[in-house]
Each structure stands twice: as structure tokens, then as C-alpha cells.
Amino acid sequence: MLANRIYKLLLILLAVGAIVFAFTPNIGAKMKITCDYCKEEIKGHYLEANGKHYHVAHYLCDECGELLANEKVYLKGGKKYCEKCYNKLFAPKCAYCGRIIEDRSVLYKGMSYHRDCFENHVALKCTLCGEIITGEYLQDFWGNAYHSSHKGEFPQCESCGRFISEEITGGGSRYPDGRHICNLCKSKALTDLDRAGEVFDKVKLQLAGENIRIEDDDIKLHLVDKNQLKEMSGEDSDSQKGYTRYKYTKIGNHQAAKHFDIYVLDAMPEMNFISIAAHELMHVWQHENSPAKNDPAFCEGSCNYASFLVLKHYSGEIAEYLIDNLNRDDDKIYGDGFRRVKKLAEDHGLDYWLRHLKSHKNFPAGY
């Protein structure tokens, strides 16, 4: 019976691959074996681990002191641990739920997860189809991630850039002129000309606060669709959202009368309208103050910078989105021009930029 118990104990200890179990009746033994725990001589059964010997009763967990003789034993750093203490101290834990990972884990960005925790709570998923995203993907300003394969499958809102879907925007609409707008933006659409005129006048006041004063009151605002805008501007551009037309009459060499028509796309969200209104009003200012036919990047970059100055008055995600678009625009005239004007104004101040714009057709050297 004793031999059977010893044999079973041996199997338990060897199962963890960490210790050596030794037994000797110690009858007639010439070599003295000392217990590493109590420092007393061992006469009879003993256990050996990490080159040390122990009475069976003294084979204890170095963390909690529990007897290890009939338990799984884990060795680490020269110490021995019961399963509970080893797991508490060293076993990998899920970075999401904090529980021990007993099966295969998922390693993501240097952290380990249960597979279920990773797939249900951590993994990046496509906002459109809900499937886990692997490899390259698209991401919009709003934090929505998409499989690259969805590009072209769904229309994008021309006001906010989101893919239009029930999951993201609650659906959307297509205007008769071909523009797509999501329901999030449509709920803020500016369609009333009187209300647009009130917002337009407010933008003029905000520009005046930046020392961009537009004294001429002979400015007429028009809300038009994309087809009308193309017709008025003579440009076949899907990205165009506003246009300023300047008309004047001369008596001799002097302008006897002048008039500005500003055309802005209708049914845009109010914040988008504000950005375009500021841009077009800066065209009016340049007609009134700057040399004729100035450099396109200096001209359009200055108009975009005027939009930036007005948008800074507003908080909220839409204003941040529009400012982000100005900063990331890769167009050589509108995008690069904006960044060059912005740096000029940041380096030397708004007044310097405006004075230079009044007297020069191009950027100063170095910009």
C-alpha cells in the first residue's frame, strides 16, 4: 500500500515536468541528506527540487506555505509554487477581462486576450459589415473603420465623408443634382435663404473681428444646386461648393458701380455653409484690396485661411472635421496654399499677412 501511494505521488509530481521525486529507505545509507526547510537530517521519504531536498511535510509553496506533496508544482526563479499562487503571479492574464488564460491566447498589440474577449470586445471590426478587419483598412474622421473592399459599394456623404448606411448614418438621400447626403447632415441642412442670410452676416462680423473688414454692402447671396453652380462658375468640378462673381461698370477710368454675387450650394449643414461663406467673402475682400490676378495658391490659400479663422470660433465635431479637411487637403492650390498662408500668419501675425496680401501678388520669400 505504501509503495502504491508513493508511486501515485511520483506521477503527480512528474506530470508538471518540474521536479524530481526521490525515495530511499535510508537504511544503511552513508550519505547524510538534510531538509532545506528545517535543516534537519532526512530519514525516510524525501522530495528533491532544484537540487534541494525536503521532508515530504516540508515541501511547501514558497508563496502561501501550503503543502505541495499532493499538488501540481510549478518552479520558477528558484522557487516552487502551488498552482493557485503560480497563476496569480505568473500565468498570462487577459488584458480585457483580467482572468487567467488557460487555452490558446490571441496576441494583439503586445497584449494577450482570450479569443472570445478579443473577438467580441477588442478586435477592430468593420462598421459596415461587422466582420473583424485584418490587414489594410479605411478609417474616417469619425473613427469608423471599413474593409477596403467596401470603397465604392456605399456612397459617401459629401458634407461629412461618412459612408452612408443604416448602421452609421441612419441612411441618407441623393439630391436631384447628384449629391449624396447622410441623414445626420440632412437634419442640419440649411435650405432657407433668409436663415442663410442671417448666418452669412454673422460670418462677416466674425471676419471683421479678425481685421478682415468687408465694407461693401452690395453683395447678394444665392443658394444653388451643383448644376447651377457649375453653370455660374464655368467650372466642371464636383468639389466646388461656392463661387463669387464680381460685376462693375465704369465711367472713364473709374468704377461707377460694383456688385458681388456669392453662390453657395444649398442644403448643406450650417457649419459647412459657414466655412464656404467665409471663403467666398475673402474673395470679396481680395477684389477690394489686393492686386488683380494674384497667385492662385496665395489667393485660394488665403480664402481657406479665412474659413479656418471663422471655424475656430466654433466647438464641436463638425467644425473640427472641416478644419481637419483644410489641414489635410492635398490640392496644390487650395491645400498647399492654405498651409503656406497659415505658416505665414503664425510666423508673422495676421496683420502682416493682410498687409502683404494688399500689396503683393505672391507669397513672401521662404513661403
The alpha carbon of residue 74 and the mean position of all alpha carbons in its chain are separated, in whole angstroms, by 43
φ, ψ of residue 252 in degrees (nearest 5): 70, -125
pLDDT tens-place string over residues 305-355:
999 999 999 999 999 999 999 999 999 999 999 999 999 999 999 999 999
What pLDDT score was predicted for residue 151? 85
Q: Give per-residue pLDDT as tens, 278-292.
A: 999 999 999 999 998
| CA atoms of 320 and 324, how far apart (whole Å) | 6
How far is C-alpha 120 from the geometric centre of its chain's CA atoms?
20
Return the C-alpha cell found at 246.
464680381
Q: Where are the domains of the chain?
A: 2-89, 137-186, 189-359
Reference 165, options 141, 136, 123, 129; nearest CA is 129
Query: pTM for this one?
Result: 0.71
How far is 114 from 94, CA to CA, in rounded Å? 6
The residue among 277, 180, 189, 261 whose CA lies nearest residue 226 is 180
Domain 2-89 sits in CATH at 2.10.110.10
Half-sphere exposure of 315 (CA within 13 A, CB side): 0
Distance of CA 119 to the CA centre of its chain: 20
pLDDT value for 44: 85
Intervals of the chain under pLDDT 70: 1-30, 216, 249-257
Residue 272 CA to residue 266 CA, distance in Å, equals: 10
What is the distance of C-alpha 126 from the center of its chain? 14
